[in-house]
């Protein structure tokens, strides 16, 4: 198993010459070319995983230093078990022990292929828990395994914890809805299906973030309308970037703003 140094997605044999995820228009291969990592090689350089409680029942998991894109995974802890969301590109025994100390893991899922990380390796070390991949994005898998199962539409992980396919960034892009989060007001984990901006009061809707390729206004409005049917007050993106409160209103207004700029409503400002 090799890991793409740029996106940290795992690949089984035969390993491609170039990472397909990074050659796609949504990502990139660095100027100095394709590089591959191994888990043992990362461990030998002192790679570590840190866990931080974002709020009761929600643990952010990061690699130090970052591996690949460097996302923050989220561990949603419920009385029935946990969901590991957007798994990072490195795993070791210490991290596995810390995760399992919070209860059994019910499933692993990613918001979209850029966030697959080393999901099969995480599963293997956590006891071969199911890895859930949107059917629309199964073609992006770099490493296959019988523990992977596909889904579409919506899927319940356990009471009050569900996956919802939004499309947009990828056809299978998804969010996790945790009803008990934000003190019972509800939390969305969105990866970058919808992306909390640095101003912490608006959201972006993009096909490619590094290459600055936007989604259409119609798609942004469609995603906001779909997610508007859920109850939530807070959103976490894939770098622990968050809309701390009133996130449902922020999502709706951000989609309207995105659509207005795409239509040319504000061309007079340019």
121 closest CA partner among 25, 8, 10: 10
2-269 belongs to which CATH class? alpha beta
- Tell me whether strands 73-78 and 36-37 are parallel, antiparallel or unpaired: unpaired
d(C-alpha 233, C-alpha 243), whole Å: 8
Cβ contact 47:36 at 8 Å: no
- At residue 43, the pLDDT reads 85
Domain residues of the chain, as ranges?
Answer: 2-269
Over the stretch 80-123, which tens digit does the pLDDT of each residue have? 999 999 999 999 999 999 999 999 999 999 999 999 999 999 99
- At residue 45, the pLDDT reads 82
- At residue 261, the pLDDT reads 98
CA angle 71-119-177, nearest 5°?
65
Over the stretch 240-263, which tens digit does the pLDDT of each residue have? 999 999 999 999 999 999 999 999
pLDDT lower than 70: segments of the chain: none
d(C-alpha 80, C-alpha 26), whole Å: 36
Total length of the chain = 270
- At residue 46, the pLDDT reads 85
Q: Could you tell me the pTM of the whole model?
A: 0.97
* Proportion of the chain in helix, strand, coil states, percent, rounded to 5: 25, 30, 45
H helices of the chain, where? 20-23, 39-44, 93-100, 119-125, 181-184, 217-227, 247-263
Cβ contact 250:202 at 8 Å: yes
């Amino acid at each position: 198993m090799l890991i793409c140094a740029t996106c940290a997605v795992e690949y089984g044999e035969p390993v491609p010459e170039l990472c397909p995820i990074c050659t796609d228009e949504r990502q990139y291969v660095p100027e100095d070319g394709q590089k591959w990592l191994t888990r043992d090689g990362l461990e030998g350089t002192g790679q570590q995983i840190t866990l931080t409680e974002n709020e009761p029942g929600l643990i952010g998991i990061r690699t130090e230093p970052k591996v690949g894109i460097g996302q923050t995974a989220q561990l949603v802890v419920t009385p029935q078990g946990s969901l590991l969301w957007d798994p990072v590109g490195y795993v070791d025994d210490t991290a596995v022990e810390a995760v399992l100390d919070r209860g059994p893991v019910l499933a692993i899922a990613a918001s979209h292929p850029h966030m697959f990380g080393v999901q099969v390796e995480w599963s293997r070390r956590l006891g071969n828990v199911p890895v859930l991949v949107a059917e629309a994005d199964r073609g992006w898998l770099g490493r296959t395994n019988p523990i992977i199962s596909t889904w579409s539409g919506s899927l319940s992980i356990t009471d009050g914890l569900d996956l919802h396919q939004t499309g947009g960034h990828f056809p299978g892009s998804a969010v996790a809805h945790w009803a008990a989060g934000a003190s019972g007001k509800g939390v969305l984990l969105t990866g970058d299906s919808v992306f909390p901006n640095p101003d912490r009061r608006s959201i972006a809707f993009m096909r490619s973030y590094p290459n600055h390729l936007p989604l259409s206004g119609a798609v942004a409005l469609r995603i906001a309308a779909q997610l508007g049917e859920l109850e939530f007050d807070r959103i976490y993106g894939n770098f622990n970037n968050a809309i701390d409160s009133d996130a449902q209103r922020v999502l709706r207004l951000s989609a309207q703003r995105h659509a207005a700029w795409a239509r040319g409503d504000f061309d007079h400002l340019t």
